[in-house]
């Protein structure tokens, strides 16, 4: 048994859950927050057998899109101390960040 932990963008979460469940996978959705952008993202937990991992990761890759996001960071104005002006920085947020974890034991009561 394996646990796939996939951090995806909120915009892709609905479609991804749909495709995964249509293909017989079980999914739990968590509302999470990225540490860098401090904005919402979605973490999916998918418990599955080892031989289904390739199908799960292929679906994630197919559905989740990379997008650019602009964040505004304060930067000190030239020649002035204590004056900060907003400075836009573009970051590329990945389609998905995926961790695959070995599950020692799995119970359902």
Cβ nearer to ligand 2BA, comparing 83 with 101: 101
Cβ nearer to ligand 2BA, comparing 36 with 109: 36
Comparing every residue's Cβ against ligand 2BA, the nearest one is 34
Distances (CA, A) of 43 to 26, 34, 36, 81: 14, 10, 15, 41
Taking alpha carbons only, the member of 47, 51, 50, 58 closest to residue 16 is 58
Q: How far is the CB of 81 from ligand 2BA (least distance, A)?
A: 26
- How is 49-109 classified by DSSP, letter by letter? -GGGHHHHHHHHHHH---EEEEEEEEEEPTT-SS-EEEEEEEEEE-SEEEEEEE-S-----
Q: How far is the CB of 13 from ligand 2BA (least distance, A)?
A: 13
Residues in touch with ligand 2BA (CB under 6 A): 7, 34-37, 41, 91-94, 97
Cβ nearer to ligand 2BA, comparing 36 with 107: 36
Cβ nearer to ligand 2BA, comparing 77 with 91: 91
């Amino acid at each position: 048994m394996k646990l796939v932990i996939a951090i995806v963008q909120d915009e892709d979460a609905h479609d991804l859950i749909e495709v995964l469940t249509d293909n017989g996978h079980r999914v739990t959705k968590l509302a999470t927050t990225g540490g860098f952008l401090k904005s919402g993202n979605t973490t999916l937990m998918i418990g599955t057998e080892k031989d289904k991992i390739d199908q799960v990761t292929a679906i994630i890759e197919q559905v989740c899109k990379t997008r650019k996001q602009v964040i505004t960071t304060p930067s000190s104005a030239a020649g002035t101390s204590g004056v900060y002006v907003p400075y836009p920085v573009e970051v590329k947020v990945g389609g998905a960040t995926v961790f695959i974890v070995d599950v020692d034991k799995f119970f359902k009561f």
